[in-house]
Amino acid sequence: THFGFQKVAESEKASKVRGVFSSVASSYDVMNDLMSFGLHRLWKAFTVQIAGVRAGDRVLDVAGGTADLSLAFAKKVGPSGQVWLTDINHAMLSRGRDRVVDKGFLLPVAQCDAEKLPFPDNHFDCVTVAFGLRNMTHKDQAIAEMRRVLKPGGRLLVLEFSKVWKPLAPAYDFYSFKLLPMMGEKVARDADSYRYLAESIRMHPDQESLKTLMEEAGLSRVEYFNMTAGVVALHRGYKL
């Protein structure tokens, strides 16, 4: 049946995503720097700046992976605040937890699905998800969950690949469909995962569609900031 087919496709996506991140976990940080020419550091720094997080705040990093954002937020909230590092994938989360400890921080860590967050309602001042939403099967449900755990007045930040400025599209396509898998093969011996990366970016909602998704999930004052000609966009919305 149609529903049967949908169920198979959904569970296939979830298991593909699991396979991809288990496979890339060990080379993830090196590849991030290489593939983005180090730009992901600037995109994340801007995210932290826009978040308006203060000392003592509670922050949830969803799909936090190797903990770049969690670490940056831990410095902002200080000892009176709290940052949770969470991810669905054990291999990514272990690397994240090790990095947190290596940098001298002690953060709570939880392995969980963004679509079913194990946190109470109205709990966090800020929820962030960086390069994670496009991997989620039910984006609307994940956004609704992230909104649920926000306190009234809290904000959700979504950093994600987006739709690039049209004149640059041919060069970007060549880069991501041809060069990226080649780099994945050379450096990480894993062309397939990097092919998945390029495909998942193309399938992800563009700037306006994601803004609408966030509004439909009940977030207010939603706006977005394009970075690097729309290669990446940062969306911000409030729970009011």
CB of 222 to ligand SAM, least distance (A): 20
- Residue 93: closest CA among 108, 103, 72: 108
Q: What is the CA radius of gyration of the chain?
A: 17
Among 51, 77, 82, 87, binds ligand SAM (CB under 6 A): 87
Q: Which is nearer to ligand SAM, 79 or 101 (CB)?
A: 101
d(CA 32, CA 14): 22
DSSP string, 70-118: HHHHHHHH-TTSEEEEEES-HHHHHHHHHHHHHTT----EEE--TTS--
x/- map, 130-169, ligand SAM, by CB under 6 A: xxx--xx---------------------------------
d(CA 194, CA 180): 6
Among 31, 57, 115, 201, binds ligand SAM (CB under 6 A): 115
Q: How many residues bind ligand SAM (CB under 6 A)?
A: 20
Q: Residue 125 interacts with ligand SAM (CB under 6 A)? A: no
Which pair of structure tokens corresponds to residue 69? 């954002």
| C-alpha 115, offset from chain centre | 13
x/- map, 177-216, ligand SAM, by CB under 6 A: ----------------------------------------
Amino acid identity of residue 205, one-letter, is P
Which pair of structure tokens corresponds to residue 83? 């940052």
Among 31, 53, 71, 88, binds ligand SAM (CB under 6 A): 88
Q: Which is nearer to ligand SAM, 57 or 160 (CB)?
A: 160
- Residue 240: closest CA among 81, 140, 122, 157: 122
Q: Residue 89 interacts with ligand SAM (CB under 6 A)? A: yes
CB of 238 to ligand SAM, least distance (A): 21
Binding site for ligand SAM (CB under 6 A): 17, 21, 62-66, 68, 87-89, 92, 113-115, 130-132, 135-136
